[in-house]
Amino acid sequence: MPHRLTHAASRLPHRVLIIDDNPAIHEDYRNVLCAHDTNSLELVSKKSLLLGDGLADQPSALNIELVSAFQGEEALELVRQSIAAAAPFMLAFVDVRMPPGIDGIETISRLWEIDPRVQIVICTAFSGHSWEETNRNLTNSDKLLILRKPFDIAVVRQMACSLIAKYELAERVETHIAEMAREAEYTRAIINSSNEAYFEADSGGRIIYWGAKAEALFGWNATEVIGKPLEQLLKYNASSLDNLCDLLADLAANNSGQRRELIAIRRDGRELPVEASISSLNLDGVRIFNAFVHDITSRQKLQTQLGHAQKMEAVGHLAAGIAHEINTPTQYVGDNTRFLLDAFKDFSEVLVKYDALLKAAIEGEVTQEIISETSAAITKADIGYLLEEVPNAINQSLEGVGRIATIVRAMKAFSHPGQKEKVDTDIHQAIDSAVTITRNEWKYVAEVETDFDPKMPLVSCQAGDVNQVFLNLIVNAAHAIGDVVDASGGELGKIKISTRVDGDFAEFRFSDSGTGIAEEHRTKLYDAFFTTKQVGKGTGQGLAIAHSIIVEGHGGTIDFETEVGKGTAFIVRLPLHQVSHERSVDLADTMIG
């Protein structure tokens, strides 16, 4: 619908159409409704065809623009033009009989086909048309009044003022309704453009509105789902004792909203984990439930990977050191490779001379010049030096590549997503990987010594989680020793890692020559976020995570022995399960996947 400014808002004259075949009537209307010229009032006689004998004093001027039409067809054309010019008529005074053209009743009927908003006053001096008959012939009778001639000036003016006000009020109402519809459409568009599925239910929990995203999430279209009870679309997890009816009742009682993790039931029967934010509104006594729902399948997957993320956080703190550990062998691999390239060029030059000497010998044309050139090439290339150094460069490069491969294998073992099920794991290989990963943390402050029990079988555990425990314990040991070394400036400390089979348990001991643990800190050691380290050096989650993994996740134990100023030993014990195969030295490769 095109936008229209009301006459009141635009301060334009109120347009009134006079439809009468008598020119004198037009002049009378003009003098009564406009009264721009005092002389014009003198033209209105006491025997006016329109007003009869009741002409009063000069009326105050109204902001009215009168337009005259003397026949019905002419009036219809003027109405068409007014619509085209966006300057519609508000009111029309229509005579019933206008020979030789169409009469007033037909004129009104056709006029409303062009513009149904126009208010109409039928003016007639005859009683040939009753209100009942006129009402039957015209379908828009709420905009119609009948006045019989003659009538008082005040009646004409009151008619004009009232019907113009009625027109403007109807326009404002129509505009307001249109604005409300646009706002509602805008709101729906915003809701449907969001990532949330939105729908509404009535006080009985039956669907009354179904958004486009709801259709995409649940698979039901609006036609299929309107009227369905909410319980057919959402439910609590099977392990929950709550139900949706109780939730809605609670929301209604408190006129509030709640967020719940629920199960969405799709049209195809599949069930999806969702988070639903459901609120209750009481609008003028009408209860409505609004629901915003989104799929949390991905979030739940992320939650299952939380342990892995925590493990990677620990590795992330070591990233700079790991990069340094990789960079060092990479540098001498690169240097040796460049040396081998130069050596190859020198060997190539010597081989070219040897080739020339061989051809000359075959042909019996060996000259002193060829011999001298060959000898000079050998001397320039320093073949003796190359024969000694090239094998060293190759061996060093292979050692560097092996070192890089070891670090990468360890990194992959730690970055591999943890498995929920327990697998038979080579604990010694896992400890070696943790030592490799943490090398840059301990190499400047301590030496690492391992003492592995050769009888240690494979241990059934969640390998990724246990790897994280080992990493945390080694890093903690390095930090504790670092505090001592920094304070004393003395020799390197020691981290000793030993394993042994103790009955039905595998025991792993991580000892350090660090500061030890103060008495007041020992009871808080496994509390989340408790740390005695400097800001930025520890999160306080390492031992809390380790305790959760070993005790809650594996049914094992984690204890410590400590002496202030001497050091600390953490003892991890995991239950053993009999296995039918031997430990493989290549297990780390299988962990890489």
Instruction: Give the Å distances, CA to CA, from 530 to 293, 481, 517.
Output: 37, 19, 13
447 has which bridge partners? 494
Q: How does pLDDT run across 220-235, given as a tens digit for each residue?
A: 999 999 999 998 999 8
Q: Are 462 and 418 in contact (CB under 8 A)?
A: yes
What letter does residue 6 receive in the DSSP assignment? Answer: -
Instruction: Give the Å distances, CA to CA, from 529 to 90, 136, 368, 557.
Output: 76, 85, 84, 20
Task: Report the alpha-carbon distance of residue 333 to residue 312 in Å, rounded.
Answer: 28
And the tokens for 131?
Answer: 């209100």
And the tokens for 88?
Answer: 């519609």
Q: Is the Cα torsion angle 186, 192, 197, 199 positive or negative in sign?
A: positive
3-state secondary structure of 282: strand
CATH dotted code for 7-176: 3.40.50.2300
Q: Is the pTM of this model over 0.75?
A: no
Mean pLDDT in the chain?
A: 79
Task: Report the alpha-carbon distance of residue 273 to residue 298 in Å, rounded.
Answer: 9
Residue that has been written with the tokens 């069930």 in this structure: 271
Task: Report the alpha-carbon distance of residue 502 to residue 579 in Å, rounded.
Answer: 16
Divide the 593 residues of the chain into consecutive groups of 10 and give the mean pLDDT of each group: 40 88 90 61 40 43 84 95 94 91 91 93 69 64 79 85 91 90 83 84 91 90 92 77 81 86 90 90 87 86 62 61 69 79 85 86 84 85 82 80 74 59 86 86 90 93 84 88 75 92 93 87 68 53 78 86 90 73 34 28
Pairing of strands 144-148, 119-124: parallel
Q: How does pLDDT run across 241-295, given as a tens digit for each residue?
A: 578 888 888 888 888 888 888 999 999 989 989 999 999 988 888 899 999 999 9
CB-based contacts of 463, cutoff 8 Å, min separation 6: 413, 418, 419, 423, 425, 430, 591
CATH number for the 418-592 domain, one of 3.30.70.260, 3.30.565.10, 3.30.43.10, 3.30.470.20?
A: 3.30.565.10
- The length of the chain, given as a count of residues: 593
Specify the fold of 194-303.
Answer: Beta-Lactamase (3.30.450)
Pairing of strands 286-295, 271-283: antiparallel
